[in-house]
Each structure stands twice: as structure tokens, then as C-alpha cells.
Amino acid sequence: MCLAKAIIEWRQYLHTTPEIGFEETVTADFIAHKLESFGIDVHRHIGKTGMVGILKRGTSDRSIALRADFDAIPVQEQNTFGYASQRAGMMHGCGHDGHVAMLLGAAYQLSQDTNFDGTVYFVFQPAEEQGTGAKAMIEDGLFTRWKMDAIYAMHNLPGLEVGSFLISPDSVMASENHFSIEIHAAGGHAAMPHLGSDPVLVACNVVSTLQGIITRNLDAIHEPAVLSVTDIKTNGGANVIPTVVTLSGDTRCFTDETQAYIKQAMERVVAGVTAAAGLDYRFTFENCVLSTINNPDKSDVAVRVAKKIVGAAKVNDKCKPFCISEDFSFMQREIPSSYILVGNGATGEKGGVPLHLPHYDFNDDLLMIGVDFWVALVHDQLAR
């Protein structure tokens, strides 16, 4: 088999059959059959559609886990090439088709290779986009059924030259937290507010006071955070003061400590502002995804290996964090890890369309670079 050719076929086939989180049955079957055909032991239904492939060599008890996500996004593809999505309203708009192809390519290469000593775990994760796949795999025993010394994940990044690496020693991406604030009042007639009570004015005060948490209570350099109230609903009308206003939104930050502080400060603001007006509230704060934080030692390993593959000039080992989120963060709280970003193509060039846009496509020129990186990482960590 010519891997460089086969891997493009796999990637483009996967691109035609995108599936949304936890419904990736065709994709999961495809991955499992490929791994089995390489002679790799496959354990399915780890996190619903997720799976783990295991390849053991020699006698060492050292191990390494390599993770690829494989779900698609609910976007109507606007590309018109031959392998465009064949499913209405779904596309591989985040390049997880490419992540799968790269990890399958590495699995094939390593299945033909006896020059390492230890166990490689190929972790294929569903439902990254809704932020629930990693958790589901952990709940199904990903780290208790198997002893993995470390786990690495790689994501493509448009806007960066193809094959250039961005590897942070620590903070990579933000946590994502959704909140909801209900403010309850007596309501009333718009012309006679003094006879009832008004949650709208209080809600407006809550919205503006919440911004003070970010700008007045957090260190602007060391505790960057965003708080966005994105939705306001009431049960009022033009001449009816509502009895309830619901504010909802999203807040992001980069450490578990800042996240806990924001949650507590938000409730303090909501309680204080509503109490001042004599109203009641209900506050909920849900952490959807934790912040993505690399282990510096594992990032050092990834940097060393990336330099070997693409040269030192194409490896940035001090990348600044991004305010987007990634559920690999849940795996990062379990064992040492590094989340690696790799260029999909510079802006305006092949692979340069941003993630999640309807014209995005994974760059096939990146496939063998990814395979070579994964294989070299295994050789580095499980050297004979």
C-alpha cells in the first residue's frame, strides 16, 4: 500500500460522510475496520461511538496515547469539489476528517514497525464539538481500564503555513462556561410601574455590573477573561412590565481558579443588584469545557519531535493562548498531556479558510506531516 496515496483517499471519503457527535456510526465503523485490518486490537463503545486501538511491542510497560476527534459540525458545506459532504446540513468543517486520517496513517506505519518498545493507544474521540465526547470516554474508563503515561492531541489551524507547529508550554485555550440569570418581579402596567416591580431595569444594571468583574476584579495581564451576556428574554409586552427577565451568556478564561472566581463574583453581583431592588433571582453557571492547559514536559517532547520533522524554523514553542475551547481539556486533568496546533495553510492559500466556515477544507498536504510527527513521537517516547 502507498500510504501517502491511501491516506488522501481515506480523508476525502470521510469528508463525504460527516456525522454529528455521538451519531458517528459510519465513521466509527470505518476507523475500526481500518485498525483491525492493520492487526491492531480495537475496543469499541468507549464513550458511545468512541474507541481505543492498542498496539504493543516488546516488554516495556511504558505507554503513550495519541488522540484524534472524529465528529463533524452542523453546517451546510459550500465547497463543490467531488468529495464534498453528501449529507445535508453537515460537514467536516473543523478538519476532524484529517485528524482521523493522520492517526490512522500513523497506526498503519507503526503496525509495520517493530522499532519501539511499549504500548501505543490510538484514542478516537467522538463529539468534540459539543464538548461531551472526552468526558464520555473518561466515564467509560479510558484512564482506568488502561494505563497511559501521557496523551497527545493535534488540531489543524488555518491561517498558519501548512506544517508549521504551534506548541504552548502551558495555556492553550479557554474554558467555556454558560450562565443563566432569572430576575423575578411583580411586573405591572407600563404606565404605573410604582404599583408593581420592574425586572427590566434591574436586569440592565446586572448586565453592566457584571462587566466590572472582568475589568475591575481580575488582573488584566495574568487573568484574561471574557464575559458576554448574549441573550435577554422577558415575558413582557410594549405596555406590560414583565414578571421575569432571563439573561444568558457565556464566559471564558484560562485557569480553573479564575473560572471559580468568576462564578462566585457573578452570583455576588446578581444577588447584590437584585437585593437592592427587592427582587428575587435564580442563577445557574455550567462549566461546559475546562481550559486547555499543557504539561510543560510533554510540550517539550512535542517541540523536540516537531523540530525533527519540519525543522526548528517552523516550530513556535511559545504560542499565545486562544479564546476558543476544546474538550481535550478533560483528558488533560487526568494524565500529563500536550495539545498541539499545526498549520493547515496560510490565509489566502490552500487550507487557509478558517475553521467552521462553509468553504473550509482540511489540507491534504498536511496528512503525511501529521503521520510523520505521530510516528516520530512514538519512537521518541518508546525508544528501544
Residues 58-117 that bind Zn ion (CB under 5 A): 94
The CA distance from 184 to 317, in Å, is 50
Buried b vs exposed e over 210-223: b needs ≥16 C-beta within 10 Å? beebbeeebeeeeb
What is the nearest approach in angstroms of Zn ion to the Cβ of residue 60? Answer: 32
Q: Which triple of cell numbers denotes residue 3?
A: 500510504
Residue list, annotated binding site for Mn(2+): 94, 96, 129, 155, 356
3-class DSSP state for residue 59? coil
| Cβ within 8 Å of residue 216, ≥6 positions away | none
What is the nearest approach in angstroms of Zn ion to the Cβ of residue 337? Answer: 16
What is the nearest approach in angstroms of Zn ion to the Cβ of residue 90? Answer: 13
The residue assigned the cell 486533568 is 333
User: Which C-beta is closer to Zn ion: that of 94 or that of 103?
Assistant: 94
The CA distance from 279 to 277, in Å, is 6
Q: Which triple of cell numbers denotes residue 2?
A: 502507498
What is the nearest approach in angstroms of Zn ion to the Cβ of residue 263? Answer: 25
What is the nearest approach in angstroms of Zn ion to the Cβ of residue 158? Answer: 11
What is the nearest approach in angstroms of Zn ion to the Cβ of residue 20? Answer: 12
User: Which C-beta is closer to Zn ion: that of 10 or that of 339?
Assistant: 339
User: Which C-beta is closer to Zn ion: that of 118 or that of 133?
Assistant: 133
**Applying CB under 5 A, does 225 fall inside the site for Zn ion?**
no
User: Which C-beta is closer to Zn ion: that of 327 or that of 372?
Assistant: 327
Q: How far is CA 80 from CA 12, 346, 350, in A?
A: 13, 21, 15
Binding-site size, Zn ion (CB under 5 A): 1
Beta-ladder partners of 166: 316, 341
User: Which C-beta is closer to Zn ion: that of 242 or that of 351?
Assistant: 351
User: Which C-beta is closer to Zn ion: that of 94 or that of 273?
Assistant: 94
Q: How far is CA 369 from CA 98, 185, 290, in A?
A: 11, 60, 29
The CA distance from 299 to 301, in Å, is 5
Q: Which amino acid, one-letter code, is at 307?
A: K
Chain residue at closest Cβ approach to Zn ion: 94
The CA distance from 157 to 166, in Å, is 9
Contact between residue 123 and residue 151 where contact means Cβ atoms under 8 Å apart: yes
Q: Which residues in this chain contact Zn ion in the complex, by CB under 5 A?
A: 94
